Amino acid sequence: MAIRVAAAQIDPQLGEVDANLARIERTVSAAAADGAALVVLPEAAVTGYCFDTIDEALAVARRATAVAESRLSDLARQLGVAIIAGTIEAEGSEVLNTALILGPDGARRRYVKTHLPFLGVDRFATRGSEPPPVFELAGMRVGVLICYDLRFPEAARVCAVSGADLIALPTNWPVSVEFHPGIFAPSRAAENHVYLLACDRVGTERGTTFIGRSVFFDYDGQNLATAGDTDEETIFGEVDLAAVRQTHVARRPGEHEWDTMADRRPGLYARLLEPAVDRNHPIGANLISGDVDDPRV
């Protein structure tokens, strides 16, 4: 069974929630008319990304929280498609960088970005506290990450061991991170035997230019579709469920075979749960991650 998916690369305008939602509605409608069962949009597609202060971001996030989920859920039901769209949301005095995940059956879900770079609204956002989810969506098992999450192989692996057929990545890749679509995206697809659909944005926001290049890779890391650098554009591809779910690969049966899920050695990976070595200091010094209590305090 093959399922048609799309990444709708657009140019959101900072703070223009209602205009951005109208743009999303037009774009998703066109993708649905072209047969897409799932449409992925960029990170912060509803709101824009490059806010200067948390107060500025909160004002926009409150408007987005009030209207975005209901409008996009209605759209998903009307068109009979699944939609994954980035936004920022307000939770009290906190801002969350969120992916809204809307099903054609009216289901409403979300994922809050867990890895935050020092850039744009992420400088003020609160990190998500839940691992990346996998949902039954458009006839597939879809894992969801957001932008910088892709740089951490553990996040994509969580999706894979949770049964994902495809990882959807709303993203805002700025100029200078061209290696994300060129290296990280195909690597995460191949090492986890999953399809990966990354939807970037285009345009410039407060001096930050985004590179476009939305991409679709198969479970071997083969590039199936790539968007351009500067223009709004929708790319399409097909997810072959039978192929992606057969994680045992026999290139030459009896001579060259592998299974990236069954061949793992989880018992050897406990070190991943401990603090990293601080490379700027003696080998015994630990670099404490943000979600690990620091025993030095």
Q: Which residues are catalytic?
A: 43, 113, 147
- Is 95:128 a contact under the CB 8 Å cutoff? no
- Nearest Cα neighbor of 41 from 102, 95, 120 is 102
CA atoms within 13 Å, Cβ hemisphere of 56: 14
CA atoms within 13 Å, Cβ hemisphere of 146: 30
Beta-ladder partners of 81: none
- Is 8:28 a contact under the CB 8 Å cutoff? yes
Angstrom distance (rounded) from CA 65 to CA 62:
5
Entry field: residues in the chain = 297
Strand (E) positions, the chain? 2-9, 38-40, 82-91, 94-102, 108-112, 134-137, 140-144, 166-170, 195-199, 202-205, 208-211, 215-217, 223-226, 233-240, 248-252, 256-259, 276-277, 286-287
SS3 202: strand
